[in-house]
Amino acid sequence: MKSIYLVGFMGSGKSTVGRQLAKRLSCAFIDTDVEIEYIQNKTIKEIFADEGEEAFRAYEYQVLKDSPFEGHVISTGGGIIEQSVNREWLKGKKVIYLKASWSTIYHRLKHDENRPIWQDNTRDKEKLLQEREVKYLEVAMYVVETDRMQTEKIVDHILSLMNE
């Protein structure tokens, strides 16, 4: 099985869905953010504070290009599509865009204190979602809407798409 990559905005369900999808496929799961934290021995929040977003994006690219081509479900960070090199790398791979509306994302993340971009009050997150939408669609083989869907139903839907 070729690896499956999950993309989408923060709070769209990539990590939650990815773990369940990997379990159902009996394969390994990788969360690129967790990998970066492990390799750098820092939290994402610390990386953003100490080194900035540009350094984080460089780490993100390294983890993406080093990810296995076979037998994994890989949950990517919400901004992985910001760099054109990442979008080019993802094109042609099994990429699923987990799409969530702004209201769903806001509801899921309103109390989250661990996401640097979410905590940055100078950034308009709703506008950021709109700006990233075209980039998610650029790399996506499939689009799965996650609003008002339970994780198991999302996984069922992804599995049915993979079997088409």
Query: How many domains does the chain divide into?
Result: 1
- What pLDDT shows up at residue 140? 97
CA distance 162 to 30: 19
- Tell me the residue range of the domain where 123 lies: 4-162
The answer on pLDDT for 17 being more than 90 is yes
**What is the per-residue pLDDT across 109-142, written as a single tens digit (0 to 9) for each?**
777 667 766 766 776 888 988 999 999 999 999 9
Q: Which residues, at least 6 apart from 62, have a Cβ–Cβ distance to it below 8 Å? A: none
